[in-house]
Amino acid sequence: MNPGASGEGAGAQLKAAREQQGLDLGVLAAQLKVPVARLEALESGNWSALPDGPYARGLAKAVCRVLQIDAGPLLQAMPGTESNALERVSSGLNQPFREDGAVSTWPKWLGVAIVCTAAVFAALIWWSPIADWQPWRADPQVVVPIGQAVPEGADSRTEVRMAPATSASAPSAALPASTASVVTPVPRPETDQAGGTSSTVSAGASVPAQGPERAAPSDGSLRIVAQQATWLSVIDGRGQSLTSRLVPAGETVLLDPVAPVRLTIGNAPGVRLEWRGQSQDLSAFAQVRVARLELR
């Protein structure tokens, strides 16, 4: 069957089905809301009077729905159906194949870059200089270093610290050389922070070593024996800082401050404390190690 015969057969089948149901052509055109001339062209197979092939096939489907008949055989008999189908298949096969491998690789490089950046920042933070950080200076409650080495060639001195007494006890401020306590060598003498009011007695080699340390000779005196290295801070009743330093193991600090006296001892279990000739119990600070107390 040639295309012209196929087209005339499709239109003739639509016309025969309409007339069989007794449906007038004008009524069908009104239902489909199309001009009567286009339905006449469809039934007569005059495809040139129709806008294009897809319009003709769509109009044929609409007529089949109204007549309640199968549109498949009619559409197959209409011209242009097979050629259009082949064109769609060939166009689909001729589409270029898209490679997506290059697009999917850049997120992997992004992840690697993020990991490398994080590793560099972590290394910078880890290797930052922390040698000068001294926790016992920032917070006296941190555990104090136990020992302190004496550099070679350092002078050994016997150091006894005395704070000035009040005007009433001025005669007792001077400490006889015989009562000076012998302490362990230290790297260098510490400058007293009480505004130059405390005195440092350097016994040197001329002072003979004494026996066991004796108690403070006068009332109001403070005696601190460092059995272990400890941080020590003493503030008298006038708000003056008499000492604030690291005391090495074996050193004895003698002060005659104005009451009340505020003390901060960084290693309380390693210190023996006497106030006005009476020994002070520091066992309550054994667990926390840092003792903060006030003597009156």
Q: What is the pLDDT along the chain (296 residues), one digit of tens a residue?
A: 333 334 457 788 888 888 888 888 888 888 888 888 888 888 888 888 888 888 888 888 888 888 888 888 888 878 764 444 444 444 444 555 555 444 555 667 778 888 888 888 887 777 655 444 444 444 444 444 444 444 444 444 434 344 444 443 433 433 343 333 434 444 444 444 434 433 333 333 333 444 334 433 444 489 999 999 999 999 999 999 999 999 999 999 999 999 899 999 999 999 999 999 899 999 889 888 899 989 98
Tokens at 124, concatenated: 């910078």
Instruction: Calculate helix-pair angle for 36-44, 25-32, nearest 10 degrees.
Output: 110
Q: How far apart are CA 200 and CA 57, in angstroms?
A: 118
Distance from the first to the final alpha carbon of the chain: 128
Q: Which of 162, 196, 195, 155 is nearest to 179 (CA)?
A: 162
Please state the domain extents for the chain: 3-93, 159-166+176-205+213-295
Kindly list the distances between the CA atom of residue 279 and the CA atoms of 34, 51, 145, in Å, as whole numbers in the listed order: 119, 119, 25
Tokens at 69, concatenated: 């008949």
CATH class of the domain defined by 3-93 = mainly alpha
Residue appearing with tokens 């008298």: 236
Residue appearing with tokens 């008999």: 77
Q: Which of 228, 225, 205, 198 is nearest to 214 (CA)?
A: 225
Strand (E) or helix (H) holding 222: strand 222-226
Q: Which of 118, 166, 150, 164 is nearest to 229 (CA)?
A: 150
